Chain A
Amino acid sequence: MITFLIRRILWVIPVILLVSICTFMLMHAIPGGPFDAEKALPQAIIDNLNAKYHLDDPLWKQYLDYMWGFVRFDLGPSIAYRARSVNDILSDQWPVTALLGSVSFAIAIIGGVALGTISAFRQNTIIDYSSMFISMLGLSIPNMALGPLLLWIFALNLRWFPPATWGTPAHVVLPAITLGTAFMASFARITRASILQVIREDYIQTARAKGVRESLVLLKHCLRNALIPVVTIAGPSFAAIMTGSMIVERIFAIPGIGKYYVTSVGNRDYPVVMAMTLIFALAVVVMNLLVDVSYGFLDPRIRYN
Chain B
Amino acid sequence: MKRALVLTFALTLVFGLMAVGQVKSLNWNLGTEPPSLDPNIATDTTSIQVIQALFLGLTDFDDNTMAVVPELATSWENSEDGLTWTFNLRDDVVWTRTGRKVTAHDVVYSVKRTLDPATGSSYAYVLWIIEGAQAFNNEEGGTAEGVGVRAVDDYTVEFTLIQPAGYFPSIAGLWVCRPLPRFIVDEYGDDWTKPENIATNGAYELGVWVHDSHLVLYKSPTFYNADNVNIDQVFCYMIEEASTAMLMYEAGALDSTAPPLEDMDRVKTDPVLSQELTMAPDLCTYYYGFNNEKEPFDDPLVRKAFASAIDRQSLIDFILKGGQSPAQTFTCPGIFGHVDGVAEGIGYPYDIEAAQGYLAEAGYPNGEGFPEVTLMHNTSEGHSKIAQFIAQSFMDTLNVTVNIVNQEWKVYLETCRTDCPQIYRMGWCADYPDANNWVNEVFHSASGSNYANYTSPDYDALVEQAARATDPAARLDLYRQAETLLCDVDAAIAPIYFYTIVNLTKPYVVRTFAPLGGEHWDQWDILPH
B contact residues around A30 at 8 Å (CB): 411
**A268/B117 in contact, CB under 8 A:** no
Within residues 38 to 64 of chain A, which ones have a CB less than 8 A from any CB in chain B? Answer: 38-45, 47-49, 52
Task: Say how far A47's CB is from chain B's closest CB, in angstroms.
Answer: 8
Selected interface stretch from B245-253, B275-283, B501-509, B515-523 = B245-253
Give Cα A32–Cα B41 distance, bound, in whole angstroms. Answer: 20
Say yes or no for A240: interface residue by CB 8 A criterion: no
A contact residues around B123 at 8 Å (CB): 39
**A255/B212 in contact, CB under 8 A:** yes
A contact residues around B38 at 8 Å (CB): 82-83
**B411/A31 in contact, CB under 8 A:** yes
Give Cα A48–Cα B116 distance, bound, in whole angstroms. Answer: 10
A contact residues around B239 at 8 Å (CB): 164-165, 253
Smallest Cβ-Cβ distance to A256: which chain B residue? B212
Task: Among A33, A48, A49, A252, point to the contact of B244 (Cβ < 8 A).
Answer: A252
**B213/A40 in contact, CB under 8 A:** no
**A163/B211 in contact, CB under 8 A:** no
Within residues 54 to 104 of chain A, which ones have a CB less than 8 A from any CB in chain B? Answer: 80-84, 88-89, 92-93
Task: Say how far A78's CB is from chain B's closest CB, in angstroms.
Answer: 9
Given contacts A39-B449, A45-B121, A82-B38, contact A251 B244 (CB under 8 A): yes
A contact residues around B231 at 8 Å (CB): none
Task: Say how far B378's CB is from chain A's closest CB, in angstroms.
Answer: 10
Smallest Cβ-Cβ distance to A84: which chain B residue? B211
CB-CB contacts of A153-171 with B at 8 A, as 1s and 0s?
0011001001111100000
Give Cα A253–Cα B417 distance, bound, in whole angstroms. Answer: 35
Give Cα A215–Cα B281 distance, bound, in whole angstroms. Answer: 70
Selected interface stretch from B75-83, B168-176, B186-194 = B186-194
Say yes or no for A224: interface residue by CB 8 A criterion: no
**B240/A41 in contact, CB under 8 A:** no
Give Cα A135–Cα B251 distance, bound, in whole angstroms. Answer: 30
**A148/B120 in contact, CB under 8 A:** no
Task: Say how far A250's CB is from chain B's closest CB, in angstroms.
Answer: 5
Say yes or no for A22: interface residue by CB 8 A criterion: no
Task: Say how far B244's CB is from chain A's closest CB, in angstroms.
Answer: 5
Given contacts A38-B449, A268-B410, contact A82 B241 (CB under 8 A): no
**A253/B118 in contact, CB under 8 A:** no
Say yes or no for B472: interface residue by CB 8 A criterion: no
Within residues 123 to 143 of chain B, which ones have a CB less than 8 A from any CB in chain A? Answer: 123-125, 137-140
Within residues 1 to 57 of chain A, which ones have a CB less than 8 A from any CB in chain B? Answer: 30-33, 35-45, 47-49, 52
Give Cα A43–Cα B124 distance, bound, in whole angstroms. Answer: 12
Task: Among A48, A92, A156, A259, point to the contact of B247 (Cβ < 8 A).
Answer: A156
Say yes or no for A296: interface residue by CB 8 A criterion: no
Say yes or no for A142: interface residue by CB 8 A criterion: no
Give Cα A159–Cα B122 distance, bound, in whole angstroms. Answer: 45
Smallest Cβ-Cβ distance to B418: which chain A residue? A31
**A253/B238 in contact, CB under 8 A:** yes
**B138/A44 in contact, CB under 8 A:** yes
Give Cα A93–Cα B250 distance, bound, in whole angstroms. Answer: 28
Give Cα A256–Cα B212 distance, bound, in whole angstroms. Answer: 8
CB-CB contacts of B380-406 with A at 8 A, as 1s and 0s?
000000000000000000000000000
**A81/B414 in contact, CB under 8 A:** no
Smallest Cβ-Cβ distance to B214: which chain A residue? A165
A contact residues around B241 at 8 Å (CB): 250-251, 253
**A45/B124 in contact, CB under 8 A:** yes
Give Cα A251–Cα B448 distance, bound, in whole angstroms. Answer: 37
Say yes or no for B408: interface residue by CB 8 A criterion: yes
CB-CB contacts of B180-223 with A at 8 A, as 1s and 0s?
00000000001101100000000000000011111000000000
Task: Say how far A165's CB is from chain B's closest CB, in angstroms.
Answer: 6
**B247/A152 in contact, CB under 8 A:** yes
Task: Among B125, B190, B408, point to the contact of A82 (Cβ < 8 A).
Answer: B190
**A42/B213 in contact, CB under 8 A:** no
Say yes or no for A229: interface residue by CB 8 A criterion: no
Task: Say how far A294's CB is from chain B's closest CB, in angstroms.
Answer: 35
A contact residues around B250 at 8 Å (CB): 156
Give Cα A156–Cα B253 distance, bound, in whole angstroms. Answer: 10
Task: Among B37, B137, B415, B417, point to the contact of A40 (Cβ < 8 A).
Answer: B417
Task: Say how far A161's CB is from chain B's closest CB, in angstroms.
Answer: 10
A contact residues around B488 at 8 Å (CB): none
Say yes or no for B43: interface residue by CB 8 A criterion: yes
Given contacts A36-B410, A164-B239, contact A82 B244 (CB under 8 A): no
**B449/A40 in contact, CB under 8 A:** yes
B contact residues around A82 at 8 Å (CB): 35-36, 38, 41, 190
**A37/B122 in contact, CB under 8 A:** yes
Within residues 411 to 443 of chain B, which ones have a CB less than 8 A from any CB in chain A? Answer: 411, 413-415, 417, 426
A contact residues around B158 at 8 Å (CB): none
Task: Among A40, A52, A165, A255, point to the contact of B448 (Cβ < 8 A).
Answer: A40
Task: Among B137, B193, B210, B247, point to the contact of A44 (Cβ < 8 A).
Answer: B137
Task: Among B35, B125, B409, point to the contact of A81 (Cβ < 8 A).
Answer: B35
Say yes or no for A179: interface residue by CB 8 A criterion: no
Task: Say how far A1's CB is from chain B's closest CB, in angstroms.
Answer: 42
Task: Say how far B89's CB is from chain A's closest CB, in angstroms.
Answer: 28
Given contacts A39-B122, A148-B244, A151-B244, contact A44 B191 (CB under 8 A): no
**B413/A93 in contact, CB under 8 A:** no
Say yes or no for B286: interface residue by CB 8 A criterion: no
Smallest Cβ-Cβ distance to A42: which chain B residue? B138
B contact residues around A251 at 8 Å (CB): 241, 243-244
Task: Say how far B249's CB is from chain A's closest CB, in angstroms.
Answer: 9
**B211/A92 in contact, CB under 8 A:** yes
Smallest Cβ-Cβ distance to A50: which chain B residue? B120
B contact residues around A253 at 8 Å (CB): 237-241, 244
| Given A82-B36, A148-B244, A163-B247, 20 extra CB contacts under 8 A | A32-B408, A37-B413, A39-B122, A39-B125, A45-B117, A48-B117, A52-B120, A82-B190, A83-B191, A93-B212, A148-B243, A155-B251, A156-B250, A163-B248, A165-B237, A253-B237, A253-B240, A255-B210, A259-B212, A266-B409
Cβ contacts A to B, 21 pairs, < 8 Å: A31-B415, A32-B410, A32-B413, A39-B448, A39-B449, A44-B117, A44-B137, A45-B120, A45-B137, A48-B139, A52-B118, A81-B35, A83-B191, A83-B194, A155-B251, A159-B251, A163-B248, A253-B239, A255-B212, A255-B213, A259-B212
Closest 7 CB pairs of A and B: A40-B448, A32-B410, A255-B212, A255-B213, A44-B139, A253-B239, A44-B138
